[in-house]
């Protein structure tokens, strides 16, 4: 799985992208976040306001309960501020 981070989520996590292998039981963004925050303090801090963080699966907005799988590209980012 490729995970991409943007904006202040990227700054706190400390990287814009990573590639990881997830176990089959991590099958939603919610569970993926639960897994990531066990890795280190940066992830914990980045996702401390997880309710505000948006998710995309293969470049399409999804909810945190949508099914995801290992060959997806998942992105985490704050609400957008374009225009």
Partner 1 sequence: MNFLGTVRAKNKNNKNILSMTIEHYPVMTENEILKIAEKALKKWDINYISIIHRIGKLFPKDKIVYVGVSSKHRQNAFNACNFIMDYLKSNATFWKLEEFENKNKWVIQDKKEIEALEKWS
Between 11 and 34, name the residue whose CB sits nearer to partner 1. Answer: 11
Q: Is 62 helix (H, G, I), strand (E, B) or coil?
A: strand
Six token digits for residue 46: 């980045």
Task: Report if residue 81 touches partner 1, rule: CB under 8 A.
Answer: yes
Q: State which of positions 5-64 bind partner 1 (CB under 8 A).
A: 6-8, 11, 56, 59-61
CA distances from 26 to 7, 60, 79, 80 (A): 25, 19, 24, 26
Q: Minimal distance in Å, beta carbon 4 to partner 1?
A: 7
Please count the other Cβ atoms lying within 10 Å of the Cβ belonging to residue 70. Answer: 13
Q: Contact positions toward partner 1, by CB under 8 A?
A: 4, 6-8, 11, 56, 59-61, 75, 77-83
């Amino acid at each position: 799985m490729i995970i991409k981070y943007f904006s202040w989520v990227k700054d706190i996590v400390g990287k814009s992208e990573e590639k990881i292998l997830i176990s089959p039981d991590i099958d939603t963004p919610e569970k993926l976040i639960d897994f990531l925050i066990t890795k280190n303090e940066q992830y914990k801090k980045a996702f401390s306001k997880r309710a505000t963080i948006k998710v995309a699966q293969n470049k399409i907005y999804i909810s945190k309960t949508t099914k995801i799988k290992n060959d997806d590209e998942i992105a985490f980012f704050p609400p957008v501020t374009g225009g």
